Structure 1
Amino acid sequence: MRIYLEADYAAMSRRAANLIAAEVIRRPNCVLGLATGSTPIGTYENLIARNRAGDLSFREVRTVNLDEYKGLAPTHDQSYRYFMQTNLFDHVDILPENTNVPDGLAADADAECARYDALVASLGYADLQLLGLGRNGHIGFNEPDDHFTKETHVVDLTDSTIDANARFFATRDDVPRQALTMGVGCIMAARRVLLIASGADKADALYNAVCGPISPNCPASILQLHGDVVVVGDEAALHRIVEAGVSVCR
């Protein structure tokens, strides 16, 4: 596991974008696993700028997103399909048919999960999987539990996750209570994992993910078993890890 310490959110976003861009340049038809939430927005802005400058093309790239709210249409302004369109896909030269997000409106959610698992497997899994980190240590919507779930599945969101996402909705009651999420099996099958975190509110979760025991109580801790993980965080998110004497790249 390599850990990059950046001064702030902007520097973290540039570093993450550099790593993703290098993957696309090295392998133009790569499969990118993508994440939503506030943390990757700056990373996507950097990638858009490179595409517009002619330095980076997504024409052959295929993407698979981690998750989607159950019950939200792709056109809902808080759906993750909508997020990806407005924060990345609509602004770069990626082909729409090469972008994949779980269907939150599927009549049979379990069948949709099985379909999505098969789709990701048919692509050979992600060459690079981008992950954010929840305050409770979740990755995708894999919430703290008594076991790791391997397959894409429907998950009940915890109160802490609902609280964290309530700022994006008119009221807390509007936040969906369930989501479809890629399981840890799909995430761990990625050739490389890029975990990004920003802010002091992520410091405990990041410390537990990197330095704590491997436990489903902190889903991100499973990444300790992956052979190629890169962590990029700002000083606020990484301060506990630095204080513990863990080696970081500056």
Structure 2
Amino acid sequence: MEIIVLPDADAVAATAADIIEARVRRGPAVLGLATGSTPLGTYAELIRRHRERGLSFAQAQAFTLDEYLGLPAEHPESYRSVIRREFTDNVDFAEGAVHSIDGQAEDPEAEAERYDASIAAAGGIDVQILGIGTDGHIGFNEPMSSLASRTRIKTLTEQTRKDNARFFPSPDDVPHHVLTQGLGTIREARHILLIGLGAAKAEAIAAAVEGPLAALCPASALQLHPHTTVLVDTDAASRLEHTEYYQYTHSQKPSWQAY
């Protein structure tokens, strides 16, 4: 893992956008896109660079991370709708290049298998963006998820439903079940960007980065990944014990070494 502690959310968004832009400008790229509030700054920065710098996604594909089970695709809080509203409809992805899990599939298990196969058929994810839940979940892989899991159905914890209730008219409207890429699926991405913002995420970041590898903190599975970049603001880094080391290694990063 490379842990980068930055002053604030704007600096995190700019650094994440730097990494994604570098990959997109190298040629056709496959991006893994997370929803939720954490990556919104990154998406806003990428949209700005598209409009002001000519950053093009015309040769890119994208796969969303998860979806509520049973929520209509056109629902404003379906992740299919959210990712298009917050990011992909504001840049120049080609028609059909943004792929989402079908939360209304008649056979969700078959849909999960189809989705993993479609990622593989696209050549795999080049850069996967991830947020982290207050309990350490990534995607909708809740605590005690298998570290080798594939895309599948999961039941949300009450904490996750509570965290997501702000996006719905009432907490009762938050679905109980989802389809999510599994931890094994996520770890097949060539480069993972884990973003943590704010003091509420500090304990989860510390457990993921410096804690033991354990299903209790699903994000700790990224310790097994050969190329994970963890981007955190100072508040999210407040529970880390080795911040000085992370800051030192980042300041001494060779100019020729990419993220």
What range is the shorter-chain TM-score in? over 0.9
Inter-partner Cα distance in structure 2 for 1:146 and 1:222: 10
Inter-partner Cα distance in structure 2 for 1:221 and 1:140: 13
The Cα shift of 1:147 comes to 3.0
Residue type matched to 1:215 in 2?
Answer: A
Is 1:231–2:230 an aligned residue pair? yes
Specify the SS of the correspondent of 1:116. helix
Residue 97 of structure 1 is matched in structure 2 by 96
- 1:166-218 CA-partner distances (Å, limit 9, x unpaired): 11111110000011000111111111111001000000000000000001110
Residue 12 of structure 2 is matched in structure 1 by 12
- 1:123-176 CA-partner distances (Å, limit 9, x unpaired): 121011111001110010000016335210000001110010011111110000
Residue type matched to 2:14 in 1?
Answer: R
Is 1:182–2:205 an aligned residue pair? no
TM-score by length of 2: 0.93
Inter-partner Cα distance in structure 1 for 2:95 and 2:134: 32
The Cα shift of 1:241 comes to 1.4
Inter-partner Cα distance in structure 1 for 2:72 and 2:245: 43
Is 1:129–2:137 an aligned residue pair? no
- 1:141–1:179 contact (8 Å) kept in structure 2: yes
Residue 155 of structure 1 is matched in structure 2 by 154
Inter-partner Cα distance in structure 1 for 2:245 and 2:70: 42
Specify the SS of the correspondent of 1:190. coil
Residue 2 of structure 1 is matched in structure 2 by 2
Comparing 93-102 and 237-246, the one that deviates more:
237-246
- 1:192–1:228 contact (8 Å) kept in structure 2: yes
Residue 57 of structure 1 is matched in structure 2 by 56
Cα separation, partners in 2 of 1:135 and 1:50, compared to 1, 3 Å: same
- 1:125–1:186 contact (8 Å) kept in structure 2: no
Inter-partner Cα distance in structure 1 for 2:244 and 2:5: 13
Residue 22 of structure 2 is matched in structure 1 by 22
- 2:5–2:246 contact (8 Å) kept in structure 1: no
The Cα shift of 1:242 comes to 5.0
The Cα shift of 1:53 comes to 1.6
Unaligned ranges ≥5, structure 1: none
Residue 68 of structure 1 is matched in structure 2 by 67
- 2:32–2:65 contact (8 Å) kept in structure 1: yes
Inter-partner Cα distance in structure 2 for 1:62 and 1:120: 10
Specify the SS of the correspondent of 2:235. helix
- 1:19-67 CA-partner distances (Å, limit 9, x unpaired): 11111112x2111111000010110000001111243100010111110
Inter-partner Cα distance in structure 2 for 1:146 and 1:123: 26
Residue 246 of structure 2 is matched in structure 1 by 247
Residue 37 of structure 2 is matched in structure 1 by 38
Inter-partner Cα distance in structure 2 for 1:146 and 1:80: 21
Unaligned ranges ≥5, structure 2: 252-259
Specify the SS of the correspondent of 2:129. strand
Inter-partner Cα distance in structure 2 for 1:65 and 1:44: 14
Inter-partner Cα distance in structure 2 for 1:96 and 1:135: 35
> Number of paired residues?
249
Comparing 167-176 and 146-155, the one that deviates more:
146-155
Specify the SS of the correspondent of 1:239. coil
- 1:127–1:191 contact (8 Å) kept in structure 2: yes
Residue 193 of structure 1 is matched in structure 2 by 192
Residue type matched to 1:13 in 2?
Answer: A
- 1:95-131 CA-partner distances (Å, limit 9, x unpaired): 1311111011111111110110111111121011111
Is 1:111–2:110 an aligned residue pair? yes
The Cα shift of 1:11 comes to 1.4
Inter-partner Cα distance in structure 1 for 2:70 and 2:123: 28
| % identical equivalent positions | 45
List 4+ stretches of structure 1 deviating above 4 A: 242-246
